[in-house]
Structure 1
Amino acid sequence: MASTAPHPNPLPEGERELFSEHRQFWLLAFFAILILAVGIGLRDPWPSDEPRYTLAAKQMVESGDWLFPHRGVELYADKPPMLMWLEAASFELVRNWRIAFMLPSFLAALGTLWLIYDLGRRLWNRKIGMYAAMTALMCIQFVFQAKRAQIDPLVVFFITAANWGLLRHLLCGPNWRLYWFGCFCAGLGVITKGVGFLALLMLLPYAWAAVRRWDGIAAIDNATWWRWLLGLVATLAAIALWLVPMLLAARAHAGDPVYTTYVNNILFKQTAHRYANAWHHIHGPLFYLPLMIYNWLPLSLTYPGTLPRWWQALKAKDARILLPLGWIVLVFLFFSASGGKRDVYILPIVPMLALITAPYLQDMLAKRWLRALGAIFLLLIGGCMLGLGIYALGAHPAFATKLAYDRGFEGPADSLWWMCIVIGAAQWLALAIFRLHRAHYAVAGGMLALWMVWGLWAYPLLNDSSSSVGLMHRVSTHLGPQNEIGLIDWKEQNMLMLDRHAMDFGFSAPTSQQFVRGAQWQAAAPAARWLFAQEPAMGHCVDRSKAIDVGHANRRDWWLFKADAVIPGCMPKNSDEAPEPDDAAS
């Protein structure tokens, strides 16, 4: 007969609930690591920004000069060196660039998720913290950027860390050490991308709430006003970690105008001047509104439910909602006021948006409308992927051929469309399994399928063409062990993917000037030196019959030639193009 004796050591109700929450936390952590890490090591840096930063990091390691980033022979002054430092440091640890260049973004994204989990846990409870992290993880743009080696995941982390310290002090405090820590992280954000100071805007809605005695504001003794000013000291101290050594080193090169130009560029042109007088990516004041819907899917599906709930919380004077929401509005207005706009600029909003969505998520998921929106989202995105894949496989449309040519893709074209079919089928399958009642699980499964296919299938499939590793391998097959190569009108991925040192004649110099310098360099040792150039840079100065067409990659045609192909005394007339903006897609 079966025993009916109770379990010998039953856990009390509270401990069982805590055990369940710990298990859920580690399941969430595993899910986040799986989504964010899949594909690391399976590709090289892809344009537009990744090869630029990785090349600078690689040159730091090779030259030992970590203070001034280089792009070939030129100083690279468009961004502070924080990401490049971290990529170089990652390489020193793992000794593999394919892994090292992705590590900073991966760790920054994980850190961001933990920070908003911890804020949700402290401001509400553990379940809200897990909802906050999961909500951010379900934002397409957040994950897409986290899987790229760009500056944005890092600046999002530092801004979120600053917000974490400030909110811990302003809502859970007083805790002056965390306030100073938050200000310090804001300074680290400044030397990452310049906009880290935006975290300090959190003090404005706090001041409003404190004056009007909103619920949830920490009882901070403002008599010791000097403690607030130490926050500014902490911010400046973080900035000084890079700024002071850089200025001292630049002063040591006072006779070299290159370093003076570097200082003026990075401190003024790329900051205030770029904001007030943007010279590219010009858009209207409403540019970000539609992006906050379709770039932030499926997180944005919650807007119909969160907007009225936020309003009710504001009427109830809940400072836990006011401070993050007020900060979101201020950051949105800041970026909208500038003429230069890119979708990624407002990415730092996402963690705070996820935080103030989380308290209402369980209630909204109990309503049919949100589950229905989730199901419609999967039906549409899955249907689009299925339809595109099936149509391209069956009809072989001209756009598919053009896409493959523009990207320099030389693999089996059908693989691209089968990839779309697998993603769409997986999303529909997830919906069929979980149905409308548990549509949120279907959405999570659909997003997991998307990122798994992207990391495990798309990365290896597209890497040769997207990274230029295939192009530069073809170049290397024409070079002997003793041959040298010079680059004209080149892109960062060309130098990065070469198997040897390359000579360059400037990156931002006019291409005609690069050509003349390159021809002079080649003429000094014509038997051993090759030149690699874009088609337009050659103009009518290169005899194509004596040059080698090495292929089409990154929407450009590339050639390789020796001195006998160069027409003596010729200067290209049609190649003096302005260099592409730092953020332009390649």
Structure 2
Amino acid sequence: MLAPDDRSLRREFGWFMLIALAVLAAGIGLRDPWPPDEPRFALVARQMLESGQWLFPHRGMELYSDKPPVLMWTEAFWMWLTGGWRGAFLLTSLLSGLGTLALVWHLGRRLWNARTGMVAATLVLATMQFVDVVKHAQIDPLNLFWITLANTGILLHCLRGPNWRMYWLGCFAAGLGVITKGVGVIALLMLLPYVLLRVRQWPGVTVTRGDGWRWAGGALAFLLAIALWLVPMLSAAYGLRTPEYLAYVHDILFRQTAERYANSWQHEEKPWFFLLVILRQWIPTWLLIPFLVPRWREALRLRDPRVWMPLIWFVLVLVFFSIPRGKREIYILPALPMLALAMAPYLVDLLKTRWLPRASFWIAVACAAVFAGAGTWALTKAPAAAQRIAQGYELPGHGEALWWCVIAVGTGFLLSALVFRPRRGVAALLGGMALAWIIWPLGTYPLLDANQSTRQLMQEADAAIGPSGQLGLVAWREELLYQARRPVTEFGFARDSALQLRAARAWQHDDPAHRWLLVNEEAFDDCVVKDKVVPLGIANRTRFALLPADASKPDCVPSATPR
């Protein structure tokens, strides 16, 4: 039987998870996949279901080797389980986000107590980047879950052990992180501060002797997880031995991992890029750090490994991702749970101060004023910026419905402030943030989806070519193929757009009366007859058009490179 206090704390955790579910699940089922990443993974997953080819993902006719297939496997499973439900592609992210919060709570409870675990999990949920990422169907929420599970297993073994099963589970989860995105190995960096603190003989660190084979079992668990995908994939690729599959193996094992890290070719940023990401997107978490530095210094004096193992790992991850030139904001997210864990035991005391609730209350009031004021200004004055945004999404008028959603977010902050008052200002701020994350998707997903998902554009293309028309895609994006209303022909995705257009014209020439080309206007060359083009408008800030057969000059050889 659980003690009354234990039952109360578990009930509190249950309510927390229900709130997290409401925040993270709001809007699921109200939209289709949105660029840049969601349509790609959803398209690959759907093609897996249709083709039965699970080891080698395809994007259209081409092999897709940018990422391992684990996320696509899960999305395909949800599509199959739900019968193709519109929101199925978001379920992996939702469950990964909820799982991450549960792991942070469990780890905080085991290392300190249930209250600390609750504070740590709340801090993660309150961080803007966490909610934003989990609300999108990218690889990163699943990767975040695997890395947090790996950290949980390793920390419980190293600080509450020996617990070899948890250690092996942690190493296995790190391997799953590798075959999900490639960077799951960063979880094993947690062993570096463990070795350092063990050598320095910090109290509370697990000490084992004569267990070398058990430590080596972690490496075996790590490799076993990777082998679940790698062994059958390599066996099939080298069994087929075609240039296409051998190129896939080289690209996904070398170019997209070690080469991409050592010699990045995309998203080049400065070394301090992730510090700026934390300042912009880890609000309100980082605002509390200056008040915790003295506590961390005291923890260092007391040699508390529960604080400093996660903190050192956080710094190692920050350095790891800062070294290569290529950086994306999302890379640093796996470090958030461990930072929250190192902050949580001291926030329990900080919450008892008078200034923090009052400051939080007035921040909530300021958010209400900013959102309501900005929305009202855009609604009533129709400034140029509001009109540009409305035009970009092809919204009627100057986007009045969108500005009402902004006002509604401000109203949510105001209602939360009125309910909780300054005395419970932290709850006022957290409540306002939760309402904002619920109101915004419920209001904007139905409003923006037709444009963002290209559903409307593909419906218009389908109507324009008629029931007997055939459609070819040139310089296409994944959302176009995903939203196609009928079978289409495409001429490669990674292929140069000029080569795609040349092949498309040859295809169209064989049946000019029925074949149309849907083209990104940036791929137009000087053989296009502008007067014959059928414009379809803008989707995701990109302009598309239909080319009938007579929209290309006969026997024309393009002399200009497409824009």
* TM-score of the aligned structures, taking structure 2 as reference length: 0.97
Tell me the CA shift for residue 309 of structure 1. 1.2
Tell me the CA shift for residue 573 of structure 1. 4.6
Give the structure 1 partner of residue 380 of structure 2: 394
Q: Is the 8 A contact 1:217 1:319 kept in 2?
A: yes
Give the structure 1 partner of residue 407 of structure 2: 421
Distance in 1 of aligned mates of 2:398 and 2:447: 9
Tell me the CA shift for residue 474 of structure 1. 0.9
Go from structure 1 to structure 2 and tell me whether the alpha carbon gap of 1:293 and 1:482 turns closer, same or farther (over 3 Å shift).
Answer: same
1:240 to 221, 227, 249: 227
Distance in 1 of aligned mates of 2:384 and 2:298: 53
Go from structure 1 to structure 2 and tell me whether the alpha carbon gap of 1:56 and 1:140 turns closer, same or farther (over 3 Å shift).
Answer: same
Alignment of structure 1 residues 407-446 onto 2, 5 Å? 407-410=393-396, 413-446=399-432
Deviations 1:156-207 (A, max 9, x none): 0000010011111111111111111110100000011110000000001111
Q: What code does the residue aligned with 2:287 have? A: L
Q: Is the 8 A contact 1:410 1:465 kept in 2?
A: no
Distance in 1 of aligned mates of 2:365 and 2:261: 40
Tell me the CA shift for residue 211 of structure 1. 1.4
Deviations 1:27-79 (A, max 9, x none): 11111111111111010000111111111111111111111111111111111
1:474 correspondence with 2:460 = yes
Go from structure 1 to structure 2 and tell me whether the alpha carbon gap of 1:29 and 1:70 turns closer, same or farther (over 3 Å shift).
Answer: same
Distance in 2 of aligned mates of 1:275 and 1:406: 35
Give the structure 1 partner of residue 135 of structure 2: 147
Give the structure 1 partner of residue 48 of structure 2: 60
1:24 to 2, 9, 12: 12
Give the structure 1 partner of residue 159 of structure 2: 171
Alignment of structure 1 residues 291-306 onto 2, 5 Å? 291-306=277-292
1:131 correspondence with 2:119 = yes
Q: Is the 8 A contact 1:302 1:370 kept in 2?
A: no
Distance in 2 of aligned mates of 1:504 and 1:52: 15
Deviations 1:352-378 (A, max 9, x none): 112122212221111233224423432
Q: What code does the residue aligned with 1:141 have? A: Q
Q: Is the 8 A contact 1:536 1:574 kept in 2?
A: no
Superposed CA RMSD in Å reads 1.7
Alignment of structure 1 residues 292-441 onto 2, 5 Å? 292-410=278-396, 413-441=399-427
- SS, match of residue 399 in structure 1: helix
Distance in 1 of aligned mates of 2:311 and 2:527: 60
Report the identity percentage: 47
Q: Is the 8 A contact 2:406 2:440 kept in 1?
A: no
Q: What code does the residue aligned with 1:479 have? A: I
Q: Is the 8 A contact 1:516 1:571 kept in 2?
A: no
Q: Is the 8 A contact 1:537 1:574 kept in 2?
A: no
Distance in 1 of aligned mates of 2:541 and 2:334: 31
Q: Is the 8 A contact 1:515 1:571 kept in 2?
A: no
Distance in 1 of aligned mates of 2:355 and 2:190: 33
Alignment of structure 1 residues 162-241 onto 2, 5 Å? 162-218=150-206, 220-241=207-228
Go from structure 1 to structure 2 and tell me whether the alpha carbon gap of 1:196 and 1:125 turns closer, same or farther (over 3 Å shift).
Answer: same
Q: What code does the residue aligned with 2:312 have? A: G
Distance in 1 of aligned mates of 2:14 and 2:376: 39
Deviations 1:223-247 (A, max 9, x none): 1212111111111111111111111
Deviations 1:527-553 (A, max 9, x none): 222110011212222223323111111
- SS, match of residue 485 in structure 1: strand
Give the structure 1 partner of residue 249 of structure 2: 263
Distance in 2 of aligned mates of 1:313 and 1:212: 15
Tell me the CA shift for residue 411 of structure 1. 7.5
Deviations 1:56-113 (A, max 9, x none): 1111111111111111111111111111111011111111242210010001011101
Tell me the CA shift for residue 301 of structure 1. 2.5
Go from structure 1 to structure 2 and tell me whether the alpha carbon gap of 1:542 and 1:353 turns closer, same or farther (over 3 Å shift).
Answer: same
Give the structure 2 partner of residue 582 of structure 1: none
Go from structure 1 to structure 2 and tell me whether the alpha carbon gap of 1:125 and 1:571 turns closer, same or farther (over 3 Å shift).
Answer: farther
Distance in 1 of aligned mates of 2:87 and 2:477: 22
Moved over 6 A (4+): none
Give the structure 2 partner of residue 82 of structure 1: 70
Distance in 2 of aligned mates of 1:17 and 1:312: 30
Q: What code does the residue aligned with 2:503 have? A: R
Distance in 2 of aligned mates of 1:505 and 1:485: 12
Tell me the CA shift for residue 208 of structure 1. 1.1
- SS, match of residue 83 in structure 1: helix
Tell me the CA shift for residue 446 of structure 1. 0.7
Q: What code does the residue aligned with 2:370 have? A: C
How many residues in Structure 1 have an aligned counterpart in Structure 2? 563
1:488 to 470, 474, 481: 474
Give the structure 2 partner of residue 454 of structure 1: 440
Give the structure 2 partner of residue 49 of structure 1: 37
Deviations 1:315-360 (A, max 9, x none): 1011111111111010011111111111110000111112122212
Distance in 2 of aligned mates of 1:501 and 1:575: 29
Q: Is the 8 A contact 2:469 2:514 kept in 1?
A: yes
Give the structure 2 partner of residue 504 of structure 1: 490
With 282-291 and 45-54 compared, the bigger mean Cα shift is at 282-291
Deviations 1:288-335 (A, max 9, x none): 113212301122232122222122112101111111111101001111
Go from structure 1 to structure 2 and tell me whether the alpha carbon gap of 1:575 and 1:315 turns closer, same or farther (over 3 Å shift).
Answer: farther
Tell me the CA shift for residue 572 of structure 1. 4.2
Tell me the CA shift for residue 459 of structure 1. 0.9
Distance in 2 of aligned mates of 1:226 and 1:26: 39
- SS, match of residue 102 in structure 1: helix
Q: What code does the residue aligned with 2:120 have? A: A
With 123-132 and 140-149 compared, the bigger mean Cα shift is at 123-132
Tell me the CA shift for residue 282 of structure 1. 1.3
Go from structure 1 to structure 2 and tell me whether the alpha carbon gap of 1:72 and 1:425 turns closer, same or farther (over 3 Å shift).
Answer: same
Give the structure 1 partner of residue 273 of structure 2: 287
1:527 correspondence with 2:524 = no
Deviations 1:501-541 (A, max 9, x none): 21110111111110110011111122222110011212222
Distance in 2 of aligned mates of 1:252 and 1:15: 60
Q: What code does the residue aligned with 2:311 have? A: L
1:564 to 522, 541, 550: 550
Give the structure 2 partner of residue 161 of structure 1: 149
Distance in 2 of aligned mates of 1:249 and 1:409: 49
Go from structure 1 to structure 2 and tell me whether the alpha carbon gap of 1:342 and 1:380 turns closer, same or farther (over 3 Å shift).
Answer: farther
Q: What code does the residue aligned with 2:224 have? A: A
With 542-551 and 403-412 compared, the bigger mean Cα shift is at 403-412
- SS, match of residue 193 in structure 1: coil
Unaligned runs of 5+ in 1: 1-11, 578-586
Give the structure 2 partner of residue 8 of structure 1: none
Go from structure 1 to structure 2 and tell me whether the alpha carbon gap of 1:420 and 1:65 turns closer, same or farther (over 3 Å shift).
Answer: same
Q: Is the 8 A contact 2:382 2:398 kept in 1?
A: no
